[in-house]
Amino acid sequence: MFSLAEENYLKTIYHLEQESKGGVSTNAIAERMETKPSSVTDMVQKLAEKKMLSYKKYKGTTLTSGGKKIATQVIRKHRLWEVFLVDKLKFHWDEVHEVAEQLEHVQSDKLITRLDAYLGSPDFDPHGDPIPDKDGYVKPTEKKLLSELKKKQRGVCVGVKETSSEFLQYLDKKNITIGTKMQVLGKEFFDGSMIIQVGKDQFFISKIIAENIYVQTN
């Protein structure tokens, strides 16, 4: 029904919409997709014809409900495959994304239904991101950035913002993964850096790190 390129555009536009609440600019799409703005204009016009998004020249785009439907299904597939790779094939969480980028485009309703059941209908992927249900519904999430916690506050790691290998490997080195409990022991006002307690270890993290870890407080 939709080509690989079309699916990737819809997915990217969906993510950008979530991030910035509102219409998405041509340049933002181009940058995220590592392509040229002129290519984006072409594709956006095509997707507008297909009623997947609304588009006014020079004004940016917004997905229609149809476009959101496609986007969330692709995201659902991406995240379910990531769970498969980590849970069943024992991939490390920092090496599943590229493979999932390919698997997310395989077309088969039955496949995804069965895969979901086989994995035990997981709610989150290995990076803590929620898996949309068959109807594209995503549970509103209750999480904040570690950098928002104050001294003495505790939290449980529920996800990461940055998902590069480098960052995920850093977290591994510090024994931080989904479900890890942590507490802010000290916070430097000047640069936002923190001392945190993880298990029996205490160590220093920069603001950059703290801004890329999602935690749930209770």
Partner DNA sequence: TCCAATATTTAGGTTAGTCTAAATATTTTT
Partner DNA sequence: AAAAATATTTAGACTAACCTAAATATTGGA
Q: Which residues bind a copy of itself (CB under 8 A)?
A: 85, 88-91, 95, 98-99, 102-103, 105-108, 110-111, 114-115, 118
Backbone angles phi, psi at 208, to 5 degrees: -55, -45
Among the residues of the chain, which ranges form H helices? 4-20, 26-33, 37-49, 65-83, 97-103, 109-118, 165-173, 207-210
- Of DNA, Mn ion, a copy of itself, none, which one sits near residue 26, judging by CB under 5 to 8 A according to partner kind? DNA
How many amino acids of this chain bind DNA (CB under 7 A)? 25
| 187 scored as a contact of Mn ion (CB under 5 A) | no
CA–CA gap between residue 30 and residue 213 (Å, rounded): 26
- Of a copy of itself, Mn ion, DNA, none, which one sits near residue 125, judging by CB under 5 to 8 A according to partner kind? Mn ion
First to last CA, the chain: 44
Candidate residues 11, 76, 77, 97; the one interacting with Mn ion per rule CB under 5 A: 97
Closest to 51 measured CA to CA, from 108, 107, 6: 6
Within positions 11 to 70, which residues make up the interface with DNA, using CB under 7 A?
25-28, 35-46, 55, 57-60
- Of a copy of itself, DNA, Mn ion, none, which one sits near residue 58, judging by CB under 5 to 8 A according to partner kind? DNA
CA–CA gap between residue 108 and residue 206 (Å, rounded): 44
For the CB of residue 125, give the shortest distance to DNA in the complex, in Å. 25
CA–CA gap between residue 78 and residue 131 (Å, rounded): 9
- Of DNA, Mn ion, a copy of itself, none, which one sits near residue 18, judging by CB under 5 to 8 A according to partner kind? none
CA–CA gap between residue 201 and residue 67 (Å, rounded): 46
How many amino acids of this chain bind Mn ion (CB under 5 A)? 5
At 216, the amino acid letter reads Q
For the CB of residue 193, give the shortest distance to a copy of itself in the complex, in Å. 36
For the CB of residue 104, give the shortest distance to a copy of itself in the complex, in Å. 10
Beta bridge partners of 61: 24, 55
CA–CA gap between residue 160 and residue 162 (Å, rounded): 6
For the CB of residue 56, give the shortest distance to a copy of itself in the complex, in Å. 35
Length of the chain: 218
For the CB of residue 171, give the shortest distance to a copy of itself in the complex, in Å. 21
| 125 scored as a contact of Mn ion (CB under 5 A) | yes
Indicate the residue among 163 and 197 with the shorter CB distance to Mn ion.
Answer: 163
